[in-house]
Amino acid sequence: QVQLVESGGGLVQPGGSLRLSCAASGSIFSRLAMGWHRQAPGKQRELVAHISTGGSTNYADSVKGRFTISRDNAKNTVYLQMNSLKPEDTAVYYCNAGVYHFSEYDPTMWGQGTQVTVSS
């Protein structure tokens, strides 16, 4: 298993950008799929994006074309670049690690979360 710590959240105006980082401790980072979920007030947690060990990516329809997930195995870090932010992107964002089961992403390890607020 790995320990995940998110950073980079904050307050940004609509149309702005933020880059979230997730630093992982452990020796098996490169063997794990990684992802980001988010949870807005009063709503259920939802998948935002995930990336395989080989670098293949998948995004929720609501963020396609605006968000980019990437990973740097040498630094044991996964990133979420968020552009053209909207108020509806406001949520706590959680980094996670997991595996694929029959092409379905299954997160099993979670970070503590970082708050992203998009408001004018």
pLDDT tens for 24-58 read 987 788 899 999 999 999 999 999 999 999 999 99
Q: How much is the CA Rg of the chain, to the nearest whole Å?
A: 13
pLDDT number for residue 71: 96
Alpha helix locations (H) across 37-98? none
**pLDDT reported for residue 26:** 76
Contact at 8 Å (CB) between 38 and 48? yes
State the average pLDDT over residues 1-6: 86
pLDDT in tens, 66-112: 999 999 999 999 999 999 999 999 999 999 999 999 889 999 999 99
Q: Is the pLDDT of residue 1 over 80?
A: no
Measure the CA–CA gap between 47 and 14, rounded to whole angstroms: 21
| Strand partners for 21 | 7, 79
> Is 2's pLDDT higher than 80?
no
